[in-house]
Amino acid sequence: MSNLFEERNIEDVYDSSGDHTRIKNLISKFKQKFGEEPGFLVRAPGRVNLIGEHVDYCGFPVLPIAIQQDVVIAGRADPSDRVLTVSSSNDSFQEYSCNIRDVQVTEVKWYSYVLAGYLGIAQRINSLPPGLQLMVDGTVPMSAGLSSSSALVCASALMSALFLKEETLKREAMAEICAKAERYVGTEGGGMDQAISFLGVKGKAQLINFNPVRCETVSLPDSVTFVVANCMVNKWKADGTDFNNRVAECRLAADVIATELGLDWNHIKKLQPLMVATNMTPKELLESVEEHLHPGAYTKDEIMGILGVDDSTFASIIGKSSNEVFRLYDRAVHVAGEASRVAEFRRICDENPADIQGLGRLIDESHLSLKDKYNVSIEELDNLTQICRDAGALGSRLVGAGFGGCTISMVPKEIADEFISQVWEAYYKPLNISFEEATSKHLFVSSPCAGACVLKVPS
Ligand code: NG1
């Protein structure tokens, strides 16, 4: 993996001439607005997670790829050195500007993610980055489960680190800074998106472990390709509490099982550390979930009784959740099962890559569990995954947080074109979306790309 701060030629990063034109347009818009060329250009990609959904915040490994769609930020030092200006190449995004001493995230707006990246670096280095003039250009579909928000945070943090000349920061450290920083904006994510945005490798998937972040490169079978399809229902996750509720339920599940096993729940806040502390495998964790948690909902009083805590301690455990009842059993069954599926997926890729049917089965099982145990699917995602299976996908599932957004399907390479035609016919045509529009924005093959980098400003 290249040094994060080494400047790379646009031609070496992007294959398509469309992207070269896009970057040139960004530079000329930047010049129009700020009167000078940008000093730096940075890029951070979105991601598709192949398997391991809703397990990163429980501490379990995930298996994503970085994608071609990304956020590029052009930036130069603010002449007064006191002002941070965040603008977009897309005029429909409102510009934001403030004194650098007043940068804080108080609301969820598109630029809040840029502010979060800036603040993340400021906190880590214990020094404010200088005033900056920034212009953002993004191609990651928003609210689609492909991590447009994290791409913004990561690109902004990279730009801030560049201006502070903090060039010793490693990709792993940047991932951790950005995972923490994105929590200013509202969700309690586990760090997958920021990690793959910095640690993506061209042509490979990455098994990402947490605490601390570290990666193992995984080769995918040559005979398959991965196709992203958007169900066209947006989910703006920072607006709702659905996501944070799931995080709280997993935390409580770990605390209750730890207590039932005679451990101090205060020391075990996630399911993965619980598994490690008790020397269990993911399969044994599943057995433990079945033994120590009951199906159906837990009330707050019931959990407070088990843990022996008062209202205020309970409130501090559940953080940003607003739940009244907690489905600990179902959530923990999903997490333990999904953790096993990630391990099995990786094992097949390493030891028996011809078993593409086996990989497809794991992807389908993941979707079923996200639908029935984690309750993060919606009808449109279920229909679209079924259409994808009917069109020849070996496995298909929702990707990212769910509640809308995209699906990922694993498809034999030789039928990829036919697959895309059939999915368009069955899902997008009835929505009056033309084949050209669907395949340029909503339905596309996604190959693993490299992670974030600094781009050479073309002369
Ligand atoms: P997206 O798809 O970007 O909403 C979220 C979390 C991830 C992970 C997935 C579910 C953030 C920034 N991202 O992703 O960490 O938990 O859901 O696997 O909160």
pLDDT, one tens digit per residue, over 16-48 is 888 889 999 999 999 999 999 999 999 999 999
Atom of ligand 1 nearest to the CA of 55: 18
Atom of ligand 1 nearest to the CA of 189: 19
Question: Would the CB of 242 count as within 6 Å of ligand 1?
Answer: no
For the entire predicted model, the pTM comes to 0.96
For residue 192, the CA-to-ligand 1 centroid distance in Å is: 7
In the predicted model, is pLDDT for residue 235 greater than 80?
A: no
Q: What is the per-residue DSSP string for 225-251?
A: EEEEEE-S----GGGSSHHHHHHHHHH
E strand or H helix that includes residue 213: none
For residue 137, the CA-to-ligand 1 centroid distance in Å is: 21
Q: What is the mean pLDDT of the chain?
A: 95
For residue 237, the CA-to-ligand 1 centroid distance in Å is: 9
- Strand bridging mode 83-88 / 132-138: parallel
Question: Would the CB of 57 count as within 6 Å of ligand 1?
Answer: yes
3-class SS of residue 129: coil
152, 213, 237: residue to mutate for ligand 1 pocket, most atoms within 8 A of CB: 237
341-358: average pLDDT? 98
**By CB neighbour count within 10 A (0-12 exposed, 13-18 middle, 19+ buried), where does 118 fall?**
buried
Atom of ligand 1 nearest to the CA of 194: 12
Q: What share of the chain has pLDDT > 70, as a percent?
A: 99
For residue 37, the CA-to-ligand 1 centroid distance in Å is: 35
* Tokens representing residue 221 in the block: 């079978």
Q: What share of the chain has pLDDT > 90, as a percent?
A: 88
What is the phi/psi pair of residue 75, to 5°? -150, 150
State residue 232's pLDDT score: 96
Q: How confident is the model at residue 202 (pLDDT cuts 50, 70, 90)?
A: very high
State residue 238's pLDDT score: 47
Atom of ligand 1 nearest to the CA of 190: 15
3-class SS of residue 42: strand
Q: How confident is the model at residue 320 (pLDDT cuts 50, 70, 90)?
A: confident
75-80: average pLDDT? 96
* CA gap 314, 252 in Å, rounded: 9
pLDDT, one tens digit per residue, over 83-110 is 999 999 999 999 999 999 999 998 889 9
415-441: average pLDDT? 98
State residue 122's pLDDT score: 96
In the predicted model, is pLDDT for residue 172 greater than 50?
A: yes
For residue 443, the CA-to-ligand 1 centroid distance in Å is: 21
Q: Dmax of the chain from CA atoms?
A: 67
In the predicted model, is pLDDT for residue 186 greater than 80?
A: no
In the predicted model, is pLDDT for residue 2 greater than 90?
A: no
State residue 458's pLDDT score: 86
User: Catalytic site residue 193?
Assistant: yes
Question: Would the CB of 190 count as within 6 Å of ligand 1?
Answer: yes
pLDDT, one tens digit per residue, over 247-266 is 999 999 999 999 999 999 99
193, 230, 338, 397: residue to mutate for ligand 1 pocket, most atoms within 8 A of CB: 193
**By CB neighbour count within 10 A (0-12 exposed, 13-18 middle, 19+ buried), where does 449 fall?**
buried
Question: Would the CB of 59 count as within 6 Å of ligand 1?
Answer: no
State residue 304's pLDDT score: 96
C-alpha closest to that of 72 among 151, 149, 18, 143:
151
Question: Would the CB of 193 count as within 6 Å of ligand 1?
Answer: yes
How many CA within 13 A on the CB side of residue 155?
Answer: 32
Atom of ligand 1 nearest to the CA of 192: 15
In the predicted model, is pLDDT for residue 436 greater than 80?
A: yes
For residue 131, the CA-to-ligand 1 centroid distance in Å is: 30
Nearest CA to ligand 1 atom 4: 401
State residue 239's pLDDT score: 56
> What structural domains does the chain harbor?
7-218+448-455 (3.30.230.10)
